[in-house]
Amino acid sequence: MDRLKVGILFGGPSEEHPVAVKSARQVVRHLDPERYDAVLVGITPDGRWWLVDSPEPGWESRTGDPVVLSPDRSTGGLLVLGAGGVETIRLDAVLPVLHGRFGEDGAIQGLLELAGIPYVGCDIQSSALAMDKSLTYLVAAGAGIRTPSYRVVEAGERPDPASFAYPVFVKPARSGSSFGVSKVAGPGELAGALATARRYDVKVVVEDAVAGTEVGCAVLGAGTEVVLGEVDQIGLSSGFFRIHQEEAPEQGSDNATVTVPAEISGVARQRVRETALATYRALGCRGLARVDLFLLDDDSVVLNEVNTFPGLTSYSRYPRMMEAAGLPLAHVLDRLVAAAVAR
């Protein structure tokens, strides 16, 4: 049986570049070399695409030829711009191991759609919806899913600090991994929090703080062929969860512990899973996503956010939840690639 030629795009020009590189390392380590011929494309923080041999540390200094993804559907893959001319590499599928902007917002999905290349994960529409927290809440609320009370603050807008009920969370509308997020205790902190959020997005969401435990659910598949991972639970000693901004996240968080499976009641677990699946379907997700929620004292749940290409690092929540449900990362990747090729 011929191996599938799978392009792995990783890195990217977003603030989540380092996390995406770590995710790519885990993907490469868990892809079966007898089934897949991996073609690695490293995207630098300034947006240059290079053919590389590995995403391991130092890959930026081991780059080969520059490469682009051809939007011409007759190419069906990559154009390698070598010194001896242009070489074509046809791809059976692409794994866009890119987090945050340009990876989860529909941008790379649009390029792959133009190119006519099957790819893993959510499509353009669901990626764009899930990336924008305010749009996520609009769609989810329309499907009967409870969301935080929130207000959108547009570029240049200076809201009256007295118009909010504190505490609130101030977030870039379209960013991930808690970059630019601040918890604001009172009116005097609002202006600084807005400035911090606007470093990542001109559109900002101000949410009422939800008094609940943070939980999450991994989702895999599409339509009726959906698998749910075990629910996880985040325990905080202070502040809020922001694992990817730790000095050494592989060694754990300074203020949080993640428990899989979550130590919650059976009723709560079922509600978390049902809400995660309802959110996934309402947004039109496919492939994979991690749905984060708040679990309240009465076992009701409130949506937090949806990550359409969650971290796959050694310490990431998504692979841990799926493995606890009996699906190690190698099996998850097999399912994702098979589903992409079959579409």
User: pLDDT tens digits, residue range 12-63?
Assistant: 999 999 999 999 999 999 999 999 999 999 999 999 999 999 999 999 888 8
196 and 231 in one domain?
Answer: no
Confidence of residue 84 (pLDDT cuts 50, 70, 90): confident
- Active-site pick, 271, 290, 317, 320: 290
Amino acid at 313: T
Residue 75, pLDDT score: 95
- Active-site pick, 280, 315, 320, 337: 315
- Active-site pick, 17, 22, 101, 335: 22
Residue 290, pLDDT score: 98
110 and 51 in one domain?
Answer: yes
For residue 240, is pLDDT > 60? no
For residue 247, is pLDDT > 80? no
Read off the pLDDT of residues 302-338 as tens digits, 9 standing for 90 and up.
999 999 999 999 999 999 999 999 999 999 999 999 9
Read off the pLDDT of residues 121-152 as tens digits, 9 standing for 90 and up.
999 999 999 999 999 999 999 999 999 999 99
Reply yes or no on whether 30 is catalytic.
no
Confidence of residue 209 (pLDDT cuts 50, 70, 90): very high
Reply yes or no on whether 250 is catalytic.
yes
Reply yes or no on whether 176 is catalytic.
no
Identify the helix (H) or strand (E) that includes residue 232: strand 232-236
- Active-site pick, 100, 103, 287, 311: 311
Confidence of residue 223 (pLDDT cuts 50, 70, 90): confident
Residue 61, pLDDT score: 87
Residue 13, pLDDT score: 94
Reply yes or no on whether 22 is catalytic.
yes
CA 221 to CA 207: how far, in whole Å? 30
Confidence of residue 87 (pLDDT cuts 50, 70, 90): very high
Residue 281, pLDDT score: 97
Read off the pLDDT of residues 260-270 as tens digits, 9 standing for 90 and up.
999 999 999 99
Residue 243, pLDDT score: 59
Residue 317, pLDDT score: 96
Reply yes or no on whether 205 is catalytic.
no
For residue 293, is pLDDT > 80? yes
107 and 183 in one domain?
Answer: no
Residue 239, pLDDT score: 57
20 and 161 in one domain?
Answer: no
- Active-site pick, 11, 21, 67, 99: 99
> Could you tell me the residue range of the domain that residue 225 belongs to?
128-146+211-342
- Active-site pick, 223, 250, 266, 267: 250
Residue 6 has which token pair? 């799978």
For residue 167, is pLDDT > 70? yes
166 and 98 in one domain?
Answer: no
Reply yes or no on whether 19 is catalytic.
yes
Concatenated DSSP letters for 240-275?
A: ---GGGSSSGGG--SSEEEESS----HHHHHHHHHH
240 and 330 in one domain?
Answer: yes
Q: Tell me, what CATH number does 69's domain have?
A: 3.40.50.20
* Nearest by Cα to 175 from 235, 132, 224: 132
- Active-site pick, 101, 244, 286, 317: 244
- Active-site pick, 6, 19, 39, 120: 19
Average pLDDT over residues 226-255: 71
227 and 200 in one domain?
Answer: no
132 and 102 in one domain?
Answer: no
Helices 329-342 and 317-324, interaxial angle, to 10°?
Answer: 100
Q: Tell me, what CATH number does 274's domain have?
A: 3.30.470.20
Read off the pLDDT of residues 99-126 as tens digits, 9 standing for 90 and up.
999 999 999 999 999 999 999 999 999 9
Residue 241, pLDDT score: 55
Average pLDDT over residues 254-279: 93
Average pLDDT over residues 158-176: 95
Q: Domain total for the chain?
A: 3
114 and 25 in one domain?
Answer: yes
Confidence of residue 255 (pLDDT cuts 50, 70, 90): low
CA 36 to CA 70: how far, in whole Å? 21
183 and 141 in one domain?
Answer: no
Between strands 256-259 and 232-236, the pairing is: antiparallel
134 and 245 in one domain?
Answer: yes
232 and 198 in one domain?
Answer: no
For residue 299, is pLDDT > 80? yes
Mean pLDDT value across the chain: 93
Helices (H) and strands (E) in the chain, counts: 8, 17
Which residue stretches of the chain are H helix? 17-30, 107-115, 124-131, 133-142, 190-197, 266-282, 317-324, 329-342
Residue 253, pLDDT score: 56
